[in-house]
Amino acid sequence: MTTARQNSFRLAFPGLFLLLLIAAVPVRPAQAAATLLETIGNLGTKAHLELRQSPLTVMKATPFTLRTTPVLPPAAAVRDILCDLTMPAMPMPLNRPRVQREGNDFTGTMVFTMAGAWQAEFVVPRPEGKEERFLFAIEQVLLK
């Protein structure tokens, strides 16, 4: 190789190496923002509610996951698990999202029909015949 070619290669090699290195790094997909809430049920079970939207807005389907610690036993059939969405400031028509049990979690999709403060109450039957109630205060749902 001639000296000019060697110098060109020496100058180009670090740039090519850096380009290959950047291309080889895996890119994580952007995670959607979430609203995370926590409460303790009337029987002492800790619960976390993840709403996969932040900020929360009206008339948008919002998937949710309810997770408890300790995990609630699978005593209830799915149809017996109730989620009730209400607005503390005013009476509203029934808004009861369907809830499914997926492994140790409870999942579904909520739709907030009006801007303002909301409450989400989950009622889960326990094996001993009692009901575990979880009440989450949702401070703000935006118009858009």
> What's the rounded Cα separation, in Å, for the pair 97 and 111?
8
Q: In this structure, is residue 6 part of a structural domain?
A: no
> What's the rounded Cα separation, in Å, for the pair 63 and 53?
8
92: which 2 tokens?
């509203």
Q: In this structure, is residue 1 part of a structural domain?
A: no
Q: What is the mean pLDDT of residues 3-16?
A: 58
Amino acid at 21: L
- Selected residue with higher pLDDT from 80 and 71: 71
Q: Are 119 and 85 in contact (CB under 8 A)?
A: yes
pLDDT recorded at residue 7: 60
> What's the rounded Cα separation, in Å, for the pair 112 and 85?
8
| Upstream peptide bond of 97 is cis (omega within 30 degrees of 0) | no
Query: CATH no. for residue 47?
Result: 2.60.40.1930
For residue 48, count CB atoms less than 10 angstroms from its CB and return exposed for 0-12, middle for 13-18, buried for 19 or more: middle
Tell me the pLDDT band of 21, cut-offs 50, 70 and 90. Answer: very low
Collapsed DSSP state (helix, strand, coil) of residue 33: coil
> How many domains in the chain?
1
Domain range for residue 67? 35-141
Q: Above 60 in pLDDT, residue 24?
A: no
Q: Above 60 in pLDDT, residue 84?
A: yes
Q: In this structure, is residue 49 part of a structural domain?
A: yes
CA end-to-end span of the chain: 65
